[in-house]
Structure 1
Amino acid sequence: MPGVYEHIRFQKETLIKERRGRSFPPPKFDTNPKEHATLLTSQIKSAKDRFRDDEFPGFDDRLLLKLKVRDRYDASEFETIPGFQFISQEDNEIVLLFAAEEALDEFEKRLATFGATGNVTRKDLIEASRAIDLWTPEDRKGEILRKEGIPKSENFLLDVELWPIDQSATRSKMLASFKDWLEKKEIIFLDSISNDYVTIIRVRCNKKNCESLFHYRDVRTIDIPPRYTLEYSLLQTDLTELPSPAVLPDTATRVAVLDSGINSNHPLLKGVVGDNRSYIHSESPTDATGHGTAVAGIATYGNIENSINSKTFIPHVWILSGRILDENNDFNEEFIENQIERAVKEFHSEYSCKVFNLSIGDEKRPYKGGKAGVLSMMLDNLSHELDILFVVSSGNLNKSVIQDKLKRGLKYPNYLLLDSEILEPSNAINVLTIGGISRYDKSRTAGRYPNDPSYQPIAHIESVSPFSRSGPGVAGCIKPDLVAYAGNLAFDHRSKMILEHGLGEISLNNQFSSSNLFSEFWGTSFSAPYITHLIGRAFSSISNASALLVRALLISNARSEFLNLPNQLKEDEKLRLVGYGKVDEEFLYRSSEDVVVLYATDTIQNDKNHFYELPFPPEYFSGKRKREITITLSYYSFVRNTRVSYKATRLFFKFVKGDSLDKVVTMFDKETPKDSYKNIPEYTNNRNITSEARSNGTIQSSTWTLKQPKGNSRYFVVVTRNDFPWGEKIAKENEEYSLVIALKDREQQEPKLYTRITNLIKQRFRGRL
């Protein structure tokens, strides 16, 4: 039965309780105090001597210390000693501090006391310290620079990241001092990004003067600028008759496509382009490559092949185009981060645009763990700041790489789990990352030679695309979040060559005036705008929906069970390849009598619990039918890549059984003795995704298949907020979240689930009054 009823809004219980805390005692210090103090003292002296001898210039004369600390120790505690300033935690153990002379003197005095007596004020700082050193020129080499070395050309570009400093005045002083130093060294300043969480300067230099950059104290990393290439292929198809598209209402959702521009004169885009701008200096907003036009076509029309077959084109969203890539689908000398930020803030301010499609990826920067890149961090913080939704493609494996893997005997889909990581910025934690699945499995060559078994598809229909990349994302979050159709590839086992024609996705051709209206495309660049299309329709269908709610609805309606994945894949491997899966559109916008979607949007303070009792009517558990419940939590967090945890705010949910609301509240209450409830287990029977697997992200979802409960058990969802200590300074006092709960009972002959739940919620509301 298709969805015909509005989704149901429901509320938390009025009780809000302090979260029960968990304390972890520090590991036992088992080193001799005298030996430990002597070692650290000698390392401080060595660092001082090298700092003076090697001349590490900076905006002031403080020493930059690299500390190796006890695993996951909160090194910001060093700021309790006046003169120490916490700068960054690069991984679980490496911490950077600015140290004034008086701070070092004080620390050395404490070391002397600790070595003599084994006891001193804040001795945990000393016991947590494992080694002290400088941030070396080798430490300053970025990932690509380590792999490729200094460019061989006479002049080249470098991106120089300075240490992130929260204080605006100090940051401005650091940047001005660095610019003056660049001028003296004859290094050319091109552009910069500077805000509360990152400061990067793009420079042009040569082999002679670039070496001094590695000895500048305030430099965090130096790397080769990213190249946001877009890999795709085209196959033209014919359409002799152009259907007239339907008129798009003014109230339709505005969606921004930040790409290579669009050709707004395309007959199918003439009535749907609200604005068309270029954010590249001296370049027009017109699409020279065809990529942006194809992305925009899918974003507004969705499945274009269906539209061609039915000869009915119905646009669903207005397109705002922001050109951020040149005629080679590449960046120019300006930071693409600045271009994207300008476009986002302009479109958000002028058009209240809340959806931004980014089908880009840095091919040289697959995410292999560690800190997030600047663009990923910027997208995460803009999402939180503006309550907007970025849809980002996961990136593609190059066809020549796939061909080489297959020639060497690597099997699909195993090779996608090896050296095929998602590309920056799709690893960002607040964005929706979209991978690809296959719609077809017969190439044009196989159709031409139907009796020849040589031409075999790499992927089956409804399986992960052979070029789609794998997660996880930053902090181990599930990535990609979703998948949509992106195309397939075939392999000629006789010639050992990749075949592609006839296996792609159809969209608009920017060269329509000299060619055809439509072309064929491959890549996750074209699965991302399909999800953007669904998001636009959701905003139009659900009044006053937030980005968080729409994000939760999408994930709540997604399943990997809808796909035809290879049997040998383990559950964690499925999450890395397809995330939460493919979206079932039937109940994305509306509920039915047998599939009911409830949602709540609220704000929560740190260290608080919110309680929701699920409105199960008695008939829901009658008989032996299959009953399913999906719970999805969506929130945003400010982020910093100077912290190992990355996100400042942590929200998570638990699905629990209890005899009553009072008992469940007691289990989670801060005032309840810990001995009474040593742990609070989630209901785990027939659950598809564990709480551990989902909790790393800012979108979290699991599905349960429920059986008839014994006794009078009731079911509850408990939402908890628990910020990292460092995050309390930048997080909002009241962080917003959306909770979506989907109930399914498709086996009842006369389903009345929607009606019964609606009545039950009304009864509870009257009871509260």
Structure 2
Amino acid sequence: MADEHQLEPQSHIGIEREPDLEPERRRRRGHGSPMPQRSRGAHGGAIRRDVDAAVTSVGGARQAAGIAPDRLLVVEFHSWDTGCRDVFEERFGAAVVDERLVPTDSGDELTHILVQFPSQQEVARLRAEADQYRRNSNQTTGLPPGLRRTFFDGLETIRTVSRGERIGARLADEGFPDTEPFYIDVDLWHPGTPKGAREVLNNLRQICAAHQGRVAEDLRTSSLVLARVQATRALADALLDLDIVAQVNLPPVLPAVYGSLFDEIQPLPDHAQPTGDEPVVAVLDSGVLPGHPLLRGWVVDERDFDTGENTAVDQHGHGTQVAGLAVYGDVARCVDSGMWNPEVMIANAKVLRRHPQDPRWTTFPDEHRPEALVERAIRHFHETRGCRVFNLSLGNRHDVYAGGRQYAWAEVLDQLARELNIVIIVSAGNNPAPPMPAGVATREDFQAGVRDALLTDPAARLCNPATSAIAVTVGSIARSASPRTRDSFAGAPEGAPAPFSRVGPGYESKSTQRAVKPEFVAFGGNFAVHAFAGGTPSWVDRDLQLGEPTTRLNTDGGRPLTAVSGTSFAAPHVSNAAAWAFDAVEDALGTLDANAARAVLGVSSTTPPCGPDWLLDPEGKETWDRLRLVGYGMVDVDRVRASLANDACLIASDSVDEDHWHLYAVPVPANFANGSGRRGVSVALAFDPPVRASRREYLARTMWVEVLKGLTIDEVRNFRTRHTGQGSAPSLPQSKLLDMRPTKTDVQWSTLQVRRKEWSRFRGLPVAAGATEPVLHVLVGCQGRFAHGEGAGQRYGLAIRFWHGDAQVEIYQQLQARVRTRARQVVRARVDRRG
């Protein structure tokens, strides 16, 4: 039996990697679908006519709008050649502002790209090359003959973007407001240079001035030019016809949140106040009520970011509800136990206000883009308070992701997460009207039908900005299945995905390149189904006994608790855990690292209470359906905060160059084979690559992680480094790979990758030749996808967890003594609070 002190919570173990490996053997990338056979004379003439028609169309709209017709022209191309982007950028000096794959009826894929030519001069060069192609010339001009033929053979269509394609989702649903002026969000195509971005913004200001409008706010990043515009109908119509405009939309409005009250509880005792050593979560929302009896003293800073309410105090309720869960992590557990122990402090970043026409709703202030306001708030509390965790229980339900280009808001979050080394937690979004299954006979069949609809209904996919690649997205599962409403039953069983919760996948450049989203789920309420005998069923979204308990905006002197439903209230559960993950990483490594914190969250996740059967994964293979519904599962905050004798977490933080590997050797604890019961190994890899919304692949780099067994370090090097000898490079036998789930293929397009291996009957692990004990080698690799100009090094965090179901099995000390441990620069004794 382990000593008593060994059963107490311990700091996670910081580990170091083995000496560097050589660069990887890169595989050549494909060249797209087969090129069609062309009659070059006819095809070249058609290209010339299509280019002329597109330029004429652009020029006419430009002249009507009153801006220069010969600058920054945007034209759409479809090509069978996946390399056509390089030709436009390198040979014609153009900027590709959007790129994605478009499936055809035959099952092949065309490359869709929008090309922004700096001036008519570059378009003239394209025309000249088309003429050379039409004559089948062997003369080298701007393009060598072979490249010219490949490039123009691949072009299928050339046109301008239509007016309808520029209409955003909410504008399409609701149309323009009747009263002028009104505010609209305008996204402009980014030309790729700061000078070009200034030029398109100046063009926008010109048009606004000519149509009695104005640019209220603008936001520029490396690939985005966004504006909030006060507009007339005439101005909006002009913008919808303009080639430099990517989208015109109505500003987002966030839905109302309702709740009911619990019984009276006592305020926090005077001694339950922060010491100042607790982690801080910044809540970007409608504000927080700092005088709330359960939050008093725990709101350490607050600021109103120009919402127009002239106070940082919550006037709506949503922010106070979110803050309670961030502070306590699990309010329901506090209610059940009667013990209120706040442990996380709040920085109140007020970015939302009550809607002027309907106080049940929240909205961003009229003159500000959400992207700009959120960026200001994040930068402020990162600079002034050192905040590392930011909770965004926000989303635009009108922007439901259906593949294609990444959302601007999501890209802003990704760039901030990378630049500032922070963790941003985003709610998956809510579907207010989930489909009602038909033709079902039982309650269980109905609930299963609701679950299945989450996977088949396009309206149930993630909404903006939950597709963010580096931010952590959180969906909702039901805590309760016992509604208070008469003549009703719960839409989901306990522990299952809530009917309203949106599901993945996240950003996908093609069906085989999709991100795991949401990464996690947490308790966030449930819906009830209400129907009188023989009547049409309807959803009940405000049932007291189905909601997630949290703090209420009790400015009326009423009870301080409420129960609410929505992914907004699942997200702060994970924000609370993320704050502790930063602490755990600093204790183990002596540094603050967002990637390592995300990795710790990953290896601390477990299957939701509904079980794998309900998640359409009865064999526990981490199927894609399961990943879409709940990602990697629920985060266990106790596992985040500390290791135990039988549950040990190893952490690494490092940087690897593109097309290189890092290797970690982990001797398997001898006690891991002892006793009966389940046991397992989990690995999680998190990284923060550069991103570009103008690129189809979006992620400038991808990474992967594999676990190898029964090999020596020299054998690993032989299999994985450059092959310089004669014959083919040696391939790694599949028998040497630990069979982990999900597969590497399923997670390789995600910036957080969690893979697991579990044994119900453990028969041991192979021992390498010449070794005396089994060793697992964890291999981490990085692959560049496209040029980005941000250096070759890619930061990453790695977490490895060994666990055993028998609490008497000691593995922590054996791991600590045997791995290549990392010397800590700073050690903070926080473990005493984790018991």
Deviation at 1:76, TM superposition (A): 3.2
Number of residue-to-residue matches in the alignment: 751
Structure 2 partner of 1:323:
350
Contact 2:767–2:775 (8 Å) recurs in 1: no
Match of 2:498 among 465, 487, 493: 465
My pick for the range that moved more, 135-144 or 429-438, is: 135-144
Equivalent of residue 123 in structure 2, options 71, 84, 104: 104
CA displacement at 1:481 relative to structure 2? 1.0
**Structure 2 match to 1:432:** 472
- C-alpha separation in 1, matches of 2:370 and 2:714: 53
Question: Given the alignment of the two structures, is residue 380 of structure 1 paired with residue 414 of structure 2, yes or no?
Answer: yes
Q: What is the CA distance between 1:310 and its match in structure 2?
A: 3.7
State whether structure 2 residue 706 is matched by structure 1 residue 654. yes
Deviation at 1:665, TM superposition (A): 1.6
Amino acid at match of 2:161: W
1:295-339, CA deviations, whole angstroms, 9 ceiling, x for partnerless residues? 111111222233344443222121110111112311221212222
Counterpart residue number, 1:61: 70
Deviations 1:587-637 (A, max 9, x none): 222222222211111011111111122221455447886441111000112
Q: CA deviation at 1:459?
A: 1.8
Find the aligned partners of 1:291 and 1:3 in 2 and give their Cα distance: 38
Match of 1:77 among 69, 73, 87: 87
Instruction: Describe the shift of the 1:609–1:53 C-alpha distance in structure 2 as closer, same or farther (beyond 3 A).
Output: same
- Matching of residue 515 in structure 1 with residue 548 in structure 2: no
TM-aligned CA deviation for residue 568 of structure 1:
6.9
Change (3 A) 1:9 1:382: same
Structure 1 distance, partners of 2:821, 2:232, is: 75
User: Aligned pair 1:536/2:579, yes or no?
Assistant: yes
Distance of 2:528 and 2:562 partners within structure 1: 19
Aligned partner of residue 94 in structure 1, secondary structure: strand
Q: 1:462 to 1:561 in 2, by over 3 A?
A: closer
**Structure 1's 85 and 395: CA in aligned 2 closer, same or farther, altered over 3 A?**
closer
The Cα of 1:129 is off from its aligned counterpart by 2.4
- The match for 1:299 among 295, 302, 326 is 326
Partner of 2:436: 405
TM-score by length of 2: 0.84
Task: Please list, as runs of the form range in 1=range in 2, the aligned pairs for 1:566-715 lying within 5 A after superposition.
Answer: 567=614, 569-570=616-617, 571-618=623-670, 620-621=672-673, 626-672=678-724, 675-677=728-730, 686-705=739-758, 707-710=763-766, 712=768, 714-715=775-776
Residues 1:641 and 1:497: Cα distance change in structure 2 (over 3 Å): same
| Kept after mapping to 1: 8 A contact 2:525/2:546 | yes
**Percent of residue pairs identical:** 24
CA shift in 2, pair 1:600/1:742, >3 Å: same
Query: Residues 210 and 487 (structure 1 numbering): CA distance in 2 closer, same or farther, change over 3 Å?
Result: closer
> Which whole-Å deviations, capped at 9, do the CAs of 1:517-570 have from their partners, x for residues lacking one?
212222221111111112223334442342211111111111226543654725
Change (3 A) 1:132 1:514: same
Shift in alpha-carbon separation, 1:36–1:572, aligned structure 2, 3 A: same
Contact residue 302 and residue 312 of structure 2 kept, 8 A: yes
CA distance in 2, matches of 1:286, 1:235: 21
1:179-328 equivalences in 2 (<5 Å): 179-227=205-253, 229-244=254-269, 246-283=272-309, 284-328=311-355
2:299, 2:676 → 1: CA distance? 52
Query: Deviation of residue 149 (structure 1)?
Result: 4.4
Tell me the residue number matched to 2:182.
Answer: 156
CA 1:306–1:370 in 2, change beyond 3 Å: closer, same or farther? same
Structure 1: stretches of 5+ with no match in the other structure: 447-453
Question: Does the Cα contact within 8 Å between 1:2 and 1:586 map onto a contact in 2?
Answer: no
- 1:160 Cα shift? 1.7
* 1:482-561 paired onto structure 2 within 5 Å: 482-494=520-532, 496-499=537-540, 500-543=543-586, 544-560=591-607
* Residues 140-188 of structure 1: CA deviation (Å, up to 9, x unaligned): 3333444544445554332221111332223213212321232023233
2:383 maps to: 349
Map of 1:480 onto structure 2:
518
Note if contact 2:710-2:736 (Cα within 8 Å) is conserved in structure 1: no
| Equivalent residue number for residue 27 of structure 2 | 22
- Residue 738 of structure 1 and its aligned partner are, at CA, apart by 0.5
Kept after mapping to 1: 8 A contact 2:59/2:70 = no
- The reply on whether 1:739 has 2:748 as its aligned counterpart is no
Give the TM-score normalised by the residue count of structure 1: 0.91
**One-letter code aligned to 1:426:** A
Matched-pair contact (CA < 8 Å) for 1:78–1:125: no
1:666–1:672 Cα contact (<8 Å) kept: no
In 2, the alpha carbon distance for the partners of 1:230 and 1:296 equals: 18
**Which position in structure 1 is the counterpart of 2:833?**
none
Q: Alpha carbons of 1:683 and 1:663: their partners in 2 closer, same or farther (altered >3 Å)?
A: closer
- What's 1:722 paired with? 783
Q: Structure 2 vs 1, CA of residues 15 and 458 (structure 1 numbering), >3 Å: closer, same or farther?
A: same
Residue from 109, 117, 132 that aligns with 1:113: 132
Q: Is the 8 A contact 1:58 1:218 kept in 2?
A: no
- Relative to 1, partners in 2 of residues 1:345 and 1:49: Cα closer, same or farther, differing over 3 Å? closer
* Partner deviation per Cα, 1:475-534 (whole Å, 9 max, x = no partner): 221111111111223323436344522121222222255211212222221111111112
2:767 and 2:339 map into 1 onto residues whose CA distance is 55
The aligned amino acid for 1:725 is F
1:9 and 2:49 matched = no
- Cα separation, partners in 2 of 1:47 and 1:289, compared to 1, 3 Å: closer
Match of 1:44 among 12, 29, 51: 51
Q: Is 1:234–1:519's contact at 8 Å kept on the other side of the alignment?
A: yes
Task: Tell me which amino acid in the other structure corresponds to 2:794.
Answer: E
Q: How far 1:684 sits from its partner (Å)?
A: 6.2
What residue ranges of structure 2 are gaps of 5+ in the alignment? 1-5, 103-110, 139-144, 356-361, 441-445, 509-513, 618-622, 769-773, 824-835
- TM-aligned CA distance change 1:129 to 1:381, over 3 Å: same
Mapping for residues 410-429 of structure 1, pairs under 5 Å: 411-417=449-455, 418=457, 419-429=459-469
SS of equivalent residue, structure 1 residue 435: strand
Pick which of 61-70 and 640-649 moved more.
Answer: 61-70
Separation of aligned partners in 2, 1:137 and 1:369: 20
Instruction: State the Cα deviation string for residues 49-87 of structure 1 (Å, max 9, x = none).
Output: 444455456557144322112264350332222443333
Cα distance change on mapping 1:684 and 1:656 into 2, 3 Å: closer
In the other structure, the counterpart of 1:449 is none
In structure 2, give the amino acid aligned to 1:558.
Answer: S
- Structure 1 residues 188, 105: CA separation in 2 closer, same or farther (over 3 Å shift)? closer
One-letter amino acid matched to 2:635: V
Secondary structure of the corresponding residue to residue 473 of structure 1: coil
Q: 2:96 aligns to what?
A: 86
How many Å apart are 1:397 and its aligned residue? 2.3
Following superposition, the deviation at residue 433 of structure 1 comes to 1.0
Q: Tell me which amino acid in the other structure corresponds to 1:235.
A: S
Q: Residues 412-448 of structure 1: CA distance to partner in whole angstroms, max 9, x if unpaired?
A: 21222222112211121111111111222222346xx
- Cα distance change of structure 1 residues 618 and 608 upon mapping to structure 2, 3 Å threshold: same
Residue deviations 1:122-149 (CA, integer Å, cap 9, x gap): 3333333222222333333333444544
CA change 1:527–1:750 in 2 (3 A) is: closer
Distance 1:223 1:597, change over 3 A: same
Q: CA RMSD in A?
A: 2.8
Determine if contact 1:560/1:579 at 8 Å carries over to the other structure.
no
Indicate if the aligned counterparts of 1:3 and 1:587 stay in contact, CA closer than 8 A: no
Q: Which residue number corresponds to residue 450 of structure 1? A: none
Distance 1:562 1:665, change over 3 A: farther
Contact kept, 8 Å, 1:86 with 1:98, in 2: the verdict is yes
Q: Quick one: which amino acid aligns to residue 641 of structure 2?
A: Y
Residue 564 of structure 1 pairs with residue 571 of structure 2: no
